[in-house]
Structure 1
Amino acid sequence: MKSPPIQRGLTLSGLVLVLCGASAQVTTPQAQLQRWQAAAGQSGQAPRGQEFFTRRHGGEWSCASCHGQPPTTTSRHASTGKPIQPLAPAFHAERFTDSAKVDKWFKRNCKDVLSRECSAVEKADVLAYLVGLK
């Protein structure tokens, strides 16, 4: 027997919610720092992270161009003007709490700033800096 259209829609919606929820990997900023330190084989260094965050790396933008310096208040994207919530976890509780989002934004933003992906050392350093902001 064929399901009514509304029931099929609800079943499909439920499946989408389950699949989306399953892909979200709940984490903490400290766990993300530990993850990238393990990948780098060394501890993240907050001073290096701050320097990396504020430097332009030969391009037009730095991380601070969009996230502000220090990244503890709402800022605006350098080209679109779209508001960006504080990046430092102590100032925005949702930061670095979803591994998939962390990976997505590191990849996208590093390519914008460096024209390449960030290394594990660079990620560990930036996270050490951001986690240390209080």
Structure 2
Amino acid sequence: MNPRKKPPCVAGLALALLIAAQWPATALAADTSPAAQLQHWSTQAGSPGNAQRGQTFFNTRHGAEWSCASCHGTPPTAQGKHANTGKSISPLAPAFNPKAFTDTAKVDKWFRRNCNDVLSRECSAGEKADVLAYLNSLK
């Protein structure tokens, strides 16, 4: 090994530290917002999310055992509880949980997982926009 050449792990760590030092702290804490998520899914759907449709969707069982409200509560402004495992769930409405819908990867993961549980399929962009419009309307 060339003594002047740093091992790849050290060079990679140095690069990561350099990037992190220049990255704003807020970008590391959250990469999105509930409003940005609503805008994204409304754009994908081709129409704005509708809070009334979102509330109906959220509280309805769609042929499966659960609705969104089964675990997140009605309204989803307080701590929920998973219907099967009993695991505690933070409030879903952004006004009651500042971390709600601030991490795109988590939003995508939980929409995919929960829509599959409730609908036995992924939610459409319109359904996601409607639910987000409902959740963002709760104060």
Q: Tell me what 1:101 maps to.
A: 106
| Identity value in percent | 65
CA distance in 2, matches of 1:86, 1:24: 19
Q: For 1:78, which of 83, 88, 108 is the aligned residue?
A: 83
For residues 1-134 of structure 1, the aligned pairs below 5 Å read 11=13, 26-134=31-139
Q: Secondary structure at the match of 2:133?
A: helix
Q: CA separation in 1, counterparts of 2:29 and 2:70?
A: 28
Counterpart Cα distance in 2 of 1:45 and 1:53: 12
Q: Secondary structure at the match of 1:104?
A: helix
TM-score (norm 2): 0.81
Moved over 6 A (4+): 21-25
**Cα deviation per residue 1:33-80 (whole Å; 9 max; x = unaligned)?**
000000000010000000000000011000000000000000100000
Where do 5+ consecutive residues of structure 1 fail to align?
Answer: none
Alignment root-mean-square deviation, CA: 2.7
**Deviations, residues 85-114 of structure 1 (Å, cap 9, x unaligned):** 000000000000011110000000000000
Figure out how many residues of one structure are paired with residues of the other and give that number. Answer: 127
